[in-house]
Amino acid sequence: MRKGLKEFLDEKVAFYNQPDFIENDPICIPHRFTKSQDIEIAGFFAAILAWGQRKTIINKCVSLMEMMDNAPHDFILHHSEEELKPFLQFKHRTFNATDTLYFLAFFQKFYKNHNSLEEAFLPMGKSMEMEKMLVHFHDFFFDDPLAPQRTRKHIATPARKAACKRINMFLRWMVRKDDKGVDFGIWNRISPSQLICPCDVHVDRVGRKLGLIERKQTDWRTAIELTSCLAELDPRDPVKYDFALFGLGVEEKY
């Protein structure tokens, strides 16, 4: 059965992992940029804000990038207090001005000392299993006594048993390398084999229908279970099947 499933999903990966996928997906936001730090910042915001209708997500992210003069890295490093005032009006679902301003403050502090956001995921500068890297990133992101308590809900962590869908999606964008032009593959210290599949409602539903998920609830262990099954199909790049599962769920209503 798994052999037939691999052939089926490989066909769907080939169909959906194409430049046409970009336009209607939040990944189109970082694709507006070529500078690696701009890609990281735009990608991070796009991933964290990725809930609700994709069109609304994209419009909100376009607006946010415009508020940063469509040069997020330069804006974050050099903005004035006055230039932060428009962000007081920014809101997407439960993500509000308080959250936005903290994200900007974190990025400013971080990029004054680091070249790539990949470093924020590496405990002691080393790559290790993804669970430890995600816990480290969450704790690092909020390692500030002034970090708003309410903002913590927007950065998922396995320590709270979350499936970490948005962070895993962001990591897929940054880490996966192929020649299809969708994912960026600009990070080199985390391997595609370490990635965990983003487990959104569509991927979860299709994964269960295909027998890739047995766990009843959807949490961190569910994401691990799904990725382990996908790794049987391709151990070097299991998360490429995110394209297949998401496409089957959203486009084909599988």
What is the pLDDT confidence band of residue 179, given thresholds at 50, 70 and 90? very high
Range of the domain at 151: 2-250
Q: Is the pLDDT of residue 25 over 90?
A: yes
Distance between CA atoms of residues 114 and 116, nearest Å: 6
What band does 159 get if pLDDT is binned at 50, 70 and 90?
Answer: very high
What's the confidence (pLDDT) of residue 184? 98
Percent of the chain with pLDDT over 70: 99
Q: What is the mean pLDDT of residues 4-23?
A: 96
| CB 42 within 8 Å of CB 33 | yes
The more confidently predicted of residues 159 and 125 is: 159
pLDDT band at 253 (very low <50, low <70, confident <90, very high): confident
Task: Return the SS3 of 91.
Answer: coil
Alpha carbon 219 to its chain centroid, in Å, reads: 16
Q: Answer yes or no: is pLDDT of 236 > 60.
A: yes
**Which pLDDT value is given to residue 213?**
97
Number of domains in the chain: 1
